[in-house]
């Protein structure tokens, strides 16, 4: 199944919803306007459509393989990776002083979406490298930046993130990997790390592992974790590669999906200790690793958008060619393609609406990030950073949960053929299943949304967003058109539900924490629905003003926004009920562990 990058919709969102013009006015981004964005997106689409998308099925059928400690990527991946890095795609959003392109996150985000939509397994390698670059740029010494970042951007080297251990999954306080100082600034690292994405492969000449470990006499718990650079091959003073470091891949996992992406078990220190180099200060490793994790969480949210769009495109193509049954309205005597059947159109419209809503919300979040990093006014930077940080767990959590529904609907559109691997619909469903788990489960995102993003500021950022939704509702009410009145009604109801839940979280956070946190995932899903629905409503308002420019596209945007409002947003009321009826010791919490 071919992939076609939705460039027209991407550019619409960049320009009309995310504020491309404002981002292009930021210091250092003056040349990054909509014309630049269009040129970059068109080039990205060529690579993704022509090179990476055809390898997607190949990666599923012929995954990466492990033998004698070495991992060989799926046939064709190594050559595709060379094309990817030689085109400069690893460096799109990274600083020009380290050989990156220095473009805004807002332009990089649709490129990331295309990359993941075309080949999710392949895209995981650049994703982890992006996170390593971000961590080094933020916490690394200047010497470390100069040594590692240009090589990571060039694709000569790739990066990984090493947190998880057999006994330490989400609870990093249990990390046991140790780092022993050698007296010359280096450390010897010993331990085992699991679930390391692209932790070993043959696509680049070196792999830079960022590893959480404990130094001797470090405090217990997460306060005693430090972050180290542990390269696969040691690096000589002149920058050339030296001896193989004492870090080895001892196995790779056999998985439900993303099969071409090797998920490795790495062993450090079996032969005297792996040489590692401290990043920043001792015992601040988790703080630095969160830089990688936040970058990765946003990117995984984009993976949700991407795989949903790919599944939608696949389902539409099938529905337009599959002939089955006469139309229910009697408009034809013979069987028609299934896209004419109301329920198939319901499924396709639901897939499209949620995908476009998630895309818009993520791109808007990316714009907030750009403003937070580049605006001249410190107060403005702080305001936009707070909004971006509030949105990250929603983009990650809701978009990935959404991708499960959309890819499942994609299988359903195919009927029985969707259950047959040869049609390709099942791969998107299987690949998507990891997304609500990786880089922090949906529950972890929801706990973050509650604890750090709502309780910490008393719901201030949420209230600001609710106020902006009110403005959009008012603009919708000004249009005496049934579609806009309907969108306004449903968005207003969703806004009330979200406001009630935010108030509940703030009021009960300390008084009844179990009740708040048992409803944290419903809160996150509610926030995703309402905020994405808000973006679709904004899109409808713009589309109405531009109908004369491109009637087909803008009329479809209005119809899709109405679909979201009438068929997706009503879930908000049920989620509100699920949160507000929770009480400590009642309902879900009344079931004791021994009763399950």
What is the spatial distance between Cα 261 and Cα 17, in angstroms, rounded to a whole number?
A: 34
Strand 233-235 and strand 241-244: the pairing is antiparallel
Classified as helix, coil or strand, 529 is: helix
Helix and strand element counts for the chain (H, E): 19, 12
What is the spatial distance between Cα 177 and Cα 167, in angstroms, rounded to a whole number?
A: 11
216: left (phi over 0), alpha (psi -120 to 50) or beta: beta
Contact by Cβ (8 Å): 582, 591 = no
The token duo for 594 is 């021994």
What is the spatial distance between Cα 186 and Cα 144, in angstroms, rounded to a whole number?
A: 13
DSSP designation for 455:
I
Strand 186-197 and strand 274-278: the pairing is antiparallel
What is the spatial distance between Cα 278 and Cα 567, in angstroms, rounded to a whole number?
A: 52
The token duo for 407 is 């890819």
Length of the chain: 596
The token duo for 114 is 């295309």
What is the spatial distance between Cα 596 and Cα 585, in angstroms, rounded to a whole number?
A: 15
Residue in 16, 200, 356, 439 annotated catalytic: 439
What is the spatial distance between Cα 438 and Cα 263, in angstroms, rounded to a whole number?
A: 12
Strand partners, 276: 187
- Widest Cα–Cα separation across the chain: 85
Classified as helix, coil or strand, 345 is: helix
Positive/negative CA dihedral, 69, 74, 77, 79:
positive
What is the spatial distance between Cα 402 and Cα 358, in angstroms, rounded to a whole number?
A: 8
Please confirm, yes or no, whether 86 is among the known catalytic residues.
Answer: no
The token duo for 349 is 């419209």
What is the spatial distance between Cα 147 and Cα 184, in angstroms, rounded to a whole number?
A: 18
- Could you tell me which of 4, 16, 7 has the C-alpha nearest to residue 360? 16
Residues annotated as catalytic are 439
């Amino acid at each position: 199944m071919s992939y076609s990058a939705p460039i027209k919709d991407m550019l619409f969102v960049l320009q009309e919803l995310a504020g491309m013009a404002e981002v292009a006015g930021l210091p250092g981004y003056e040349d990054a306007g909509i014309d630049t964005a269009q040129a970059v997106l068109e080039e990205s689409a060529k690579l993704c459509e022509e090179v990476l998308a055809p390898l997607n099925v190949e990666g599923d059928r012929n995954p990466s393989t492990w033998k004698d400690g070495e991992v060989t990527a799926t046939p064709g991946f190594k050559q595709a990776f060379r094309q990817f890095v030689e085109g400069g795609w690893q460096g799109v959003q990274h600083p020009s002083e380290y050989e990156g392109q220095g473009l805004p996150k807002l332009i990089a985000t649709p490129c990331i979406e295309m990359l993941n939509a075309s080949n999710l397994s392949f895209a995981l390698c650049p994703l982890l490298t992006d996170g390593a670059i971000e961590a080094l740029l933020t916490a690394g010494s200047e010497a470390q930046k100069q040594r590692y970042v240009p090589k990571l951007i060039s694709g000569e080297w790739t990066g990984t993130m090493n947190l998880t251990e057999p006994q330490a999954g989400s609870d990093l306080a249990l990390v046991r990997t140790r780092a022993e100082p050698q007296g010359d600034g280096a450390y010897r690292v010993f331990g085992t790390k699991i679930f390391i994405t692209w932790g070993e492969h043959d696509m680049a000449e070196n792999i830079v592992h960022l590893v959480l470990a404990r130094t001797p006499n470090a405090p217990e718990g997460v306060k005693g974790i430090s972050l180290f650079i542990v390269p696969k091959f040691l690096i000589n003073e002149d920058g050339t590669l030296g001896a193989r470091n004492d870090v080895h891949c001892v196995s790779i996992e056999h998985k439900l999906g993303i099969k071409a992406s090797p998920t490795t078990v790495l062993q450090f220190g079996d032969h005297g200790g792996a040489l590692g180099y401290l990043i920043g200060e001792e015992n601040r490793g988790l703080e630095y690793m969160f830089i990688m994790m936040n970058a990765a969480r946003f990117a995984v949210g984009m993976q949700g958008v991407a795989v949903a769009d790919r599944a939608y495109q696949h389902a539409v193509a099938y529905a337009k060619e599959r002939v089955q049954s006469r139309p229910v309205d009697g408009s034809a005597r013979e069987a028609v393609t299934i896209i004419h059947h109301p329920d198939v159109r319901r499924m396709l419209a639901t897939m499209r609406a949620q995908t476009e809503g998630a895309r818009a919300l993520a791109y808007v979040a990316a714009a907030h990030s750009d403003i937070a990093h580049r605006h001249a006014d410190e107060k403005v930077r702080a305001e936009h950073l707070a909004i971006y940080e509030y949105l990250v767990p929603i983009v990650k959590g809701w978009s990935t949960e959404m991708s499960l529904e959309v890819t499942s609907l994609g299988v359903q559109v195919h009927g029985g053929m969707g259950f047959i691997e040869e049609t390709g619909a099942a791969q998107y469903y299987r690949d998507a299943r990891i997304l609500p788990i990786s880089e922090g489960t949906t529950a972890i995102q929801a706990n973050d949304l509650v604890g750090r993003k709502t309780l910490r500021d008393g719901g201030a950022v949420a209230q600001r967003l609710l106020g902006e939704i009110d403005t959009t509702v008012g603009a919708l009410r000004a249009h005496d058109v049934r579609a806009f009145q309907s969108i306004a009604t449903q968005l207003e109801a969703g806004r009330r539900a979200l406001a009630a839940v935010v108030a509940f979280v703030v009021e009960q956070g300390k008084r009844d924490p179990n009740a708040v946190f048992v409803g944290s995932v419903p809160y996150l899903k509610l926030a995703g629905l309402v905020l994405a629905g808000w973006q679709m409503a904004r899109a409808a308002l713009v589309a109405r003003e531009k109908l004369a420019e491109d009637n087909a596209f803008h009329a479809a945007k209005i119809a899709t926004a109405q679909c979201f409002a009438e068929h997706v947003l009503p879930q908000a009321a049920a989620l509100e009920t699920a949160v507000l009826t929770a009480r400590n010791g009642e309902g879900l919490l009344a079931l004791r562990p021994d009763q399950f």
